[in-house]
Structure 1
Amino acid sequence: MTDLSTRFLGGQVNVDYAADVTRNCTMQLFDPERAMTFETDSANEGALYLNRMIRVIYSVKVPQMNDWVDIPVFTGPIVSMDRDNDIINIECQGKEVLARGAAVRTFTRKKGSNRVNVIRDILRDLTGENKFDFPELSYKLAADYSLGRESIPWDAAKRLASGMSRQLFYDGRGICRLRTFPGSPVWTFKDGDSGTVVSTPKISYDSSEVKNAVQVKGGIPKGAKTPVTVTLVAPSSHPLSPFKLGRNGVGRYLLEVIEDESIRSKAEAEEKAGTVLNDRLLQEVDVDFNAMPIPHLEPGDLCRLSTEHYATSFRLREFSIPLVAGEVMSVGSIRNVNVRRNAWKWAPKKKKK
């Protein structure tokens, strides 16, 4: 492992919840002596090649602790590099990209296998992953499961996770995580002297994606004759409920139907319907603002915006973490950070005697 901190000019980590690869990192490194090369067989310690990964750690000085706190915000392989005189520009993507190639070989698991273990096996056997943070769950395969040679391992793993109402993603440490979607805000963005919001938020409302009712149609449970079916509706107190949106005593139902034969129990169907319904009710609100960097947030986190004029909860879908001191974090969109090269001076390391 090589520390490139002394060569670092700047960059940013972009996070997009809906993208095939959630995290993307761009950075600039200073290399006037041409020590950093592109060749995989280079003898230089600082050689960068496309089969290496970059890890970015965001360090924050906490006065109350009188110490620094290190937060990993990115781990992933280099996907492109170019040199512009003394500057090397690097683009990296999250580790999902390593699981988005074809499986090449077949993969099978028997009916009744634990679904969490199947996800782990797909990523371990077909992509070489060995860093997991998975809970112990009792979900089982309802039928024999197989992947063909042209299957995309990451897509298959995400489908299995979705069937259990779980989020599968890579965090900043490069660890593959399986979790429930946060149902309560993990962070509140506030304005004012003690807050983190530094720009006037832009709030937009779009009802085209809003659903106030979700129906889940699963498979046929053992011993039953009909598929399991569950329908959940937003409570009447919710401003988007069929009761509130209706007129003249007739409710307005905005229904989403989900068909998933892997769901074989009412409890699983209710969990799936509840997760999707809560998420769809949040989709009416889009927020866009700048804030002081909060590097520990993850894509899909539920956050709250509380300012003098606005108070709303939203799912964290797009944000950028600047890797340059003094820059702000964008929430709700991805903005480029300008590298202030003239504010940085490079000095070669002193040779050891």
Structure 2
Amino acid sequence: MKTAFLCAGAACALACSTSAAAHNSGADDHAPIGVMADHTHHKGEFMLSFRVMHMAMAGNQIGTDGVSDDTIATTISNRFAGMPMQPPTLRIVPQAMRSDMYMFGGMYAPSDAVTLMVMGSYVEKEMDLLTYQGGMGTTQLGTFRTNPKALGDTKVSALFPLVSRSVDDGARRDQVTLKAGFSLPTGSTTEAATVLTPMNTTSTMRAPYAMQAGTGTWDLEPALTYKGWRGRIGFGAQASAAIRLDRNKWGYAFGDVYQGTAWVSYRPARWVSVSGRVLGRSTGNVRGIDPAIMGPVQTANPDWQGGQRVDLIAGVNLLATRGALAGHRLGLELGAPIYQDLKGPQMAGDWHLTVGWQKAY
């Protein structure tokens, strides 16, 4: 969370360097920071961005109901039972997971009709797990932690401004932006983890699907975004997807993801806006299986990866309008799920934070 505190300090610096009458741009010109590919640029303009996304998970669910560690260890069948050293039930149970993604982005408009965008990432994940003694029963051997970190996949996109209209001296504005994008398989899919086994030994093996930094597949990532303003009130919606075009070299593909989000914002002054957002997501199970991912743990089962989720998210956008920081933007969003229906057992989402910086030139 060190990054969040540093960004909070940057927010204070931005606020101290703003002036409501400096120029026509406003803090709400961009969508909340967790919404990407929401705007385009004029010919010759470019923009740099940096985002940090932190996600926390805790506890386990089957469908919409919580499930205890002991229940998982004694009643949930192990997909790999019957293979050497594989017990009949799950004997390793996740306790908590944290994920930090650092995203570096760039946008450039070769013409008013199209803006090109590229984004790379570095991913660090951490999971705490509890191991039960082999066989049956509820005897616990202890806990252990895995912590893979690696480069993630690279996103490349073209953004097209379909609608851009303004009336009443800009008090009423509407924009529609189309994104045609791809995710390139630059992220690692071979991260390893050292685990405490039910036999009370340690073993190093390939980390489960959710702990990998990349997908290993080429993915189609379209999006359509609408933004509107009526005076100090802003609002918008975006529909997006991640569609896997093939299976990776290990023989699997992550499930397709379909998302819809909508938000409302209020701008009390030109340099600041606050927002509320709802995000819905549907994720499919992993298709296929990596033969190197195996074990008496739910995260190794490709059929326990999908589900539906709805989050409520609060945010703030800040824009410096004068001084040395003029034109710099800082955004923050904090959210948590209000509904989760998980194919599982699966770890349940707890909360997430996104902090980001943007500067157009």
TM over 0.5: no
Q: Which has the higher helix share?
A: 1
Larger radius of gyration: 1
TM-score by length of 2: 0.21
TM-score by length of 1: 0.21
Greater RCO, 1 or 2 (C-alpha within 8 Å, sep 6+): 2
